[in-house]
Amino acid sequence: MSVSYFFNLIAKIKYKFNNLADVFKLFTFLNNIHENTKLIKSKAKELGFDDCGISKIETFNNFTREKYNEWINSGFSADMQYMERNIDKRFDITKMVENAKSVISVILNYYPEVKQNTESYKISKYAYGYDYHKIIKDKLYKLFNFINNEISKISGRVFVDSAPVMEKQWAIKSGLGWQGKNSCLINKDIGSFFFVGEIVIDLELEYDKPINEYCGNCTKCIDACPTGAIEKPYVVNSNKCISYLTIEHKGEFNKNINIDFTDYIFGCDICQDVCPWNAKPVFSKIKEFKIFDAIKTFTYNNWENLNENDFNKIFKNSPLKRTKYSGIKRNINQIKKVKF
């Protein structure tokens, strides 16, 4: 840029402002936003997050609202009544975090290097280690405190899978990935075996843009789903989804239900395992996500003979505690009923 061009530009800008001091104030403001954003993203990486993207607070567009309502009205949320509540908050996050300006989304890879014994009932990979809610929240609070102490006094909230927050949609808005036809968020570098979390704060930052989607003509996830739960691209019917049935469904199964859980007793990874974006997985570096010894070594027999006391001891800090001992037993019985 030539010097005269620069002075002309300043003159033009000055025309719109009262004086040069205002121009420099604006410049400093924008520069601070840029620097603050860089600091936050680099701290997120230092804390172990695989990626961090930032979006401006906005209410969701009509497409997202319509599709969400369609999903609920089709009954695809099954018995997860919490998905039907607080719809206004879901679409307008300022109803939960007053004066919110930015959503800082993070992703954390959980893909394990060591897998389960193959002669065993299956546990979804996200549940191999310690419960992710606490691990991600601890890291997010560290990031929150860093912003509060080193950048600017802020107010806001931290979320991980625990409130009516459209986590995938915020992460998509901030360029962390695209929504695959299996409905999971996919990141170009690490695939889809990751968790999502976010901090919502009242500080303005520099905003990322969504990226393209890269599913193309592929339909591997839809073809591989053993229960036909992916009704159409991007839409999962929880009533048929093994993940829902084995984890979220409460109580006994209806006697007429004949769904084959394909040996899964907690969650299901099939539509992600077949995805070409997971073909060269990057292993998680988070030690807390390493496979529990019991999950690694247990055989069919061990699961079948496990008593409630041992279950409670071994899985005290594991996602498996969500179904409780009775849920695991119920799932094993369902598998046996369909198999034999």
Known catalytic residues are: 161
Alpha-helical segments (H) within 17-119: 20-46, 62-73, 87-91
Q: Does 168 bind ligand B12 (CB under 6 A)?
A: yes
Cβ atoms within 10 Å of 24's Cβ, excluding its own:
13
Give the integer Cα–Cα distance in Å for 66 and 63. 5
Q: Does 116 bind ligand B12 (CB under 6 A)?
A: no
- Residues of span 50-89 touching ligand SF4 by CB under 6 A: none
Whose Cβ is closer to ligand B12: residue 46's or residue 84's?
84
Give the integer Cα–Cα distance in Å for 101 and 130. 32
- Residues of span 5-44 touching ligand B12 by CB under 6 A: none
CB of 55 to ligand B12, least distance (A): 14
H or E element, residue 80: none
Q: Does 199 bind ligand SF4 (CB under 6 A)?
A: no
DSSP state of 100: -
Largest CA distance in the chain: 84
- Residue 11: C-alpha distances to residues 5, 29, 242 (Å): 10, 19, 65
**Of 64, 148, 227, 302, which lies in the binding site for ligand SF4, with binding defined by CB under 6 A?**
227
Whose Cβ is closer to ligand B12: residue 154's or residue 210's?
210
Out of ligand B12, ligand SF4, none, which partner does residue 71 contact, by CB within 5 to 8 A per kind? Answer: ligand B12
H or E element, residue 334: helix 324-339
Out of ligand B12, ligand SF4, none, which partner does residue 68 contact, by CB within 5 to 8 A per kind? Answer: ligand B12
Q: Does 211 bind ligand B12 (CB under 6 A)?
A: no
Tokens 């094993």 found at: 332
| Residue 112 C-alpha from the chain's centroid | 17
Q: Does 237 bind ligand B12 (CB under 6 A)?
A: no
Out of ligand SF4, ligand B12, none, which partner does residue 215 contact, by CB within 5 to 8 A per kind? Answer: ligand SF4
List residues bridging with 195 in a β-sheet. Answer: 108
Q: Does 185 bind ligand B12 (CB under 6 A)?
A: yes
Q: Does 181 bind ligand SF4 (CB under 6 A)?
A: yes
CB of 246 to ligand SF4, least distance (A): 9
Axis-axis angle for helices 132-146, 20-46 (nearest 10)? 150
Alpha-helical segments (H) within the chain: 3-16, 20-46, 62-73, 87-91, 132-146, 167-173, 220-224, 242-243, 270-273, 293-297, 300-305, 308-314, 324-339
Q: Does 323 bind ligand SF4 (CB under 6 A)?
A: no
Site string for ligand SF4, 269-298 (x = CB under 6 A): -xx--xxxx---------------------
Axis-axis angle for helices 3-16, 20-46 (nearest 10)? 100
DSSP state of 291: P
- Residues of span 203-222 touching ligand SF4 by CB under 6 A: 215, 218-221
Q: What is the DSSP pairing of strand 264-266 with strand 122-123?
A: parallel
Residues lying near ligand SF4 in the complex (CB under 6 A):
180-182, 215, 218-221, 225, 227, 229-230, 236, 241-243, 268, 270-271, 274-277
Residues lying near ligand B12 in the complex (CB under 6 A):
64, 67-68, 71, 80, 83, 124, 126, 160-161, 165-169, 179, 182-185, 192, 194-196, 234-236, 238, 241, 243-244, 248, 267-269, 271
